[in-house]
Amino acid sequence: MNHQWTDRLSEYLDGELMSAERDALETHLAGCAHCRDTLAELRAVVARAQSLENRAPAADLWPEIHARLTVRRRFSLTVSQLLAASIALVVLSGGGVWLALRDGSGTSDPTMAAFPQLVAPAGTPVAWRARTDMAVAQLEETLAQNESRLDTATVRVVRQNLGIIDRAIEKAQRALQADPGSAYLNLHLAQTMRRKIELLRRANALAVAES
Amino acid sequence: MLTTLATLAALTLGAVRQDRDPGSRDTTVAVQPGARLDVNNFGGEIVVRVWNQNNVRVRATHSSRSRVEVSSTAAAVMVRTAGRRGPPSIVDLELTVPAAMAMTLRGHYTDISVEGAGGSVSAESTQGDITITGGTGSVVVKAVEGDVTLSRTRGRIQVTTVEGDVRVADAVGEVVVETVDGDIFLQRMDAPSVEVSTVDGDIVYDGTIKDGGSYRISTHDGDITVGIPPSASVRVMVASFDGEFDSSFPVDVQRSGKHRFSFTIGTGKARVELETFDGDIRLRRPGEVNVRDARNRNQNRNQNRNRDEDHDY
């Protein structure tokens, strides 16, 4: 494998390489399955990010991402940054997550707080996941305080389904340990974590409505 | 529904039979064109039918412990139920409303049924089944536990539930469905955009694949079956961690990573994304999509899972 091209793949994808570089990269791609796979994953990530345009949260974070994806010859995201940005979009596409994360961020700049990967060159999906875990922990703690307001049947349903989501998260995390670079697995984990956050939010909202 | 009834029984402190001595109310109010129906019924049923009159008729059956309030303004007809003392008990509401009337229906332990709606419908119940026939412009359903069944809707559908199956049939318009533990069946759909996902359940989509359309279908643990019409022009992207892919017609697969592959039918004007972490993905021609098979497979799977859980104890 020759990884000298790996961080040029997003430039290639955006058509930003000079023709000689493009030709050289395409020659390399013909013989490098690793780079071909990475390029395909990148394409999928970009497509996914674009497909989320209509689901951006109320804070309207999409323009930030979109600008960075499309600005020519000024900024190019690495593979891990693109993936991290895409995961951020997936999880944040539930608007309430935004608030949960912002509240825990301790910063006055919500855009930067929600997208540390975009300002930190070494941003990785792993770093973002830690923030999501924190938001989940906060929501779980709130639910533990509030759930006595809910009837037992609703608590049972919520707990059972949180268990289902937790098992799904565990499986995705196990798969990721074996294949940490997989865009699909990273995005799948992000989607599943988003589902957990949404359910916790919903249960908390129901509990508040009961009081 | 059993849970709903059990919970209601608990709420009424074991005096359900005694308290079900029927009270009743039958009220008809005139409504202005464009007025909205707004119903909140803590437990029981909300049944809505339509007629060609500019009136709303409210028939309520309830115990002497409950009361029903009907009020109206130029903008809305409001129906509320409450307990005379202590917690609310069961109230069954039957409403007949103008065909085009938009409505918001809410309940806690409440089954909701709407037949023939011609306006927008918003229905929300914590525990109970929700069935809607008709609905134009927007049909929004929120539930925690209970099955959701929609048919003959025209407009955007948005369903969010936690535990229960979602069935949509003969619908025209954009569809967004999310559940955690339940199957999703979309049949005879005419949709330019579909985004459906469950964590634990099967998904079946049988409908049009429109040029320029976007169809995203994902589950964590379950099978996906999609009908692709022969005339479809579509780019299909498939991702699965542990599952098999099967198409009843030939496709030219291009693998694009360990867990992904894609292929194009025609010139790829629509976009279909299919993802299951642990399950099979099947492409079928429209006449080959068999919802009953999918349901049977899922029932078997649930039985096996319940058996496994029983053995865990």
Contact (CB<8Å) A153/B260: no
The more confident residue out of A131 and B225 is B225
Read off the pLDDT of residues B4-31 as tens digits, 9 standing for 90 and up: 544 444 443 333 333 344 578 899 999 9
Option in A43, A168, A202 nearest B199 (CB) = A168
Quote the CA–CA distance of B104 and B79 in Å, as a whole number.
Answer: 10
**pLDDT at position A138:** 85
Parallel, antiparallel, or unpaired for β B281-284 and B224-227? parallel
Q: What is the mean pLDDT of residues B27-36?
A: 94
Rg (CA), chain B: 22
Q: Percentage of residues in chain B with pLDDT exceeding 70?
A: 84
A43 — pLDDT class (breaks 50, 70, 90): confident
- A–B interface: beta-carbon pairs under 8 A: 101
Give B218's contacts in chain A (Cβ within 8 Å): 191
Q: Is A34 exposed, middle or buried (0-12, 13-18, 19+ CB in 10 A)?
A: middle
Cβ–Cβ under 8 Å, residues B257 and B225: no
Parallel, antiparallel, or unpaired for β B193-200 and B270-278? unpaired
Contact (CB<8Å) B162/A202: yes
Answer whether residue B128 shows pLDDT above 60: yes
Option in B4, B127, B163 nearest A161 (CB) = B163
The more confident residue out of A87 and B175 is B175
Smallest CA–CA distance from B7 into chain A, residue: A153
Give the gap in angstroms from C-alpha B29 to the nearest C-alpha of chain A: 30
Quote the CA–CA distance of A65 and B195 in Å, as a whole number.
Answer: 22
**pLDDT at position A26:** 85
Answer whether residue A89 shows pLDDT above 80: no
**pLDDT at position A18:** 77
* Sequence-distant (≥ 6) Cβ neighbours of residue B154 within 8 angstroms: B135, B136, B137, B171, B172, B173
**pLDDT at position A209:** 82
For residue B250, the SS3 value is coil
Read off the pLDDT of residues A9-32 as tens digits, 9 standing for 90 and up: 767 776 767 788 888 888 888 887
What rounded mean pLDDT belongs to chain A? 69
> Which token pair is B216?
């995203």
Give the gap in angstroms from C-alpha A87 to the nearest C-alpha of chain B: 16
Supply the range of the domain harboring residue A14: 3-210
Answer whether residue A130 shows pLDDT above 80: no
Half-sphere exposure of A113 (CA within 13 A, CB side): 16
Quote the CA–CA distance of B59 and B66 in Å, as a whole number.
Answer: 14
Contact (CB<8Å) B180/A153: no
The more confident residue out of A46 and A58 is A46
Read off the pLDDT of residues B273-297 as tens digits, 9 standing for 90 and up: 999 999 999 999 988 887 666 666 6
Quote the CA–CA distance of A75 and A71 in Å, as a whole number.
Answer: 7
Read off the pLDDT of residues B158-172 as tens digits, 9 standing for 90 and up: 999 999 999 999 999
Cβ–Cβ under 8 Å, residues A203 and A143: yes
Which stretches of chain B are DSSP H helices? 2-11, 16-19, 291-312
Give the gap in angstroms from C-alpha B55 to the nearest C-alpha of chain A: 32
The more confident residue out of B209 and A180 is B209
Answer whether residue B269 shows pLDDT above 80: yes
Out of A40-54, B52-66, B244-258, pick the least confident.
Answer: A40-54
Quote the CA–CA distance of B256 and A45 in Å, as a whole number.
Answer: 12
Cβ–Cβ under 8 Å, residues A172 and B277: yes
The more confident residue out of A3 and B252 is B252
Residues of A engaging B, defined by a Cβ cutoff of 8 Å: 36-37, 40-41, 43-44, 47, 51, 151-154, 157-158, 160-161, 164-165, 168, 171-172, 175, 179, 182-185, 188, 191-192, 195, 198-199, 202, 206
**pLDDT at position A133:** 80
Judge whether B237 is closer than 8 Å to chain A, CB to CB.
Answer: yes
Contact (CB<8Å) A40/B6: no
Quote the CA–CA distance of A147 and A143 in Å, as a whole number.
Answer: 5
Contact (CB<8Å) B220/A44: no
A83 — pLDDT class (breaks 50, 70, 90): low
Give the gap in angstroms from C-alpha B241 to the nearest C-alpha of chain A: 8
Chain-centroid distance, C-alpha B20:
30
Rg (CA), chain A: 19
Out of A15-24, A174-183, A190-199, B33-42, pick the least confident.
Answer: A15-24
The more confident residue out of A120 and A196 is A196
Quote the CA–CA distance of B88 and B86 in Å, as a whole number.
Answer: 7
End-to-end CA distance of chain B: 26
Cβ–Cβ under 8 Å, residues B221 and B277: yes
Give the gap in angstroms from C-alpha B194 to the nearest C-alpha of chain A: 12
Place of tokens 């007949």: B96
Answer whether residue B229 shows pLDDT above 90: yes
Q: What is the mean pLDDT of residues B75-97?
A: 89
DSSP codes, A37-77: HHHHHHHHHHHHHHHTGGG--TT--HHHHHHHHH-TTT---
Contact (CB<8Å) B162/A182: no
Cβ–Cβ under 8 Å, residues B143 and B130: yes
Number of domains in chain A: 1
Amino acid present at B64: S
Task: Work out whether the CA dihedral A101, A103, A104, A106 comes out positive or negative.
Answer: positive
Contact (CB<8Å) A168/B220: yes
Q: What is the mean pLDDT of residues A99-116?
A: 37
Give A179's contacts in chain B (Cβ within 8 Å): 258-259
Cβ–Cβ under 8 Å, residues B152 and B170: yes
Answer whether residue A113 shows pLDDT above 50: no
Give B220's contacts in chain A (Cβ within 8 Å): 168, 171-172, 188, 192
**pLDDT at position A190:** 85
Residue A163 burial (CB count, 10 A):
11
**pLDDT at position A51:** 55
* Sequence-distant (≥ 6) Cβ neighbours of residue B104 within 8 angstroms: B36, B37, B38, B39, B122, B123
Quote the CA–CA distance of B151 and B164 in Å, as a whole number.
Answer: 17
* Sequence-distant (≥ 6) Cβ neighbours of residue B25 within 8 angstroms: B58, B59, B60, B62, B68, B70
Contact (CB<8Å) A188/B277: yes
> Which token pair is A18?
């000079």
Give the long-range contacts of residues B201-206, CB within 8 A, separation 24 or more: B201/B165, B201/B298, B202/B279, B202/B294, B202/B297, B202/B298, B204/B289, B204/B291, B204/B294, B206/B286, B206/B289, B206/B291
A114 — pLDDT class (breaks 50, 70, 90): very low
A50 — pLDDT class (breaks 50, 70, 90): low
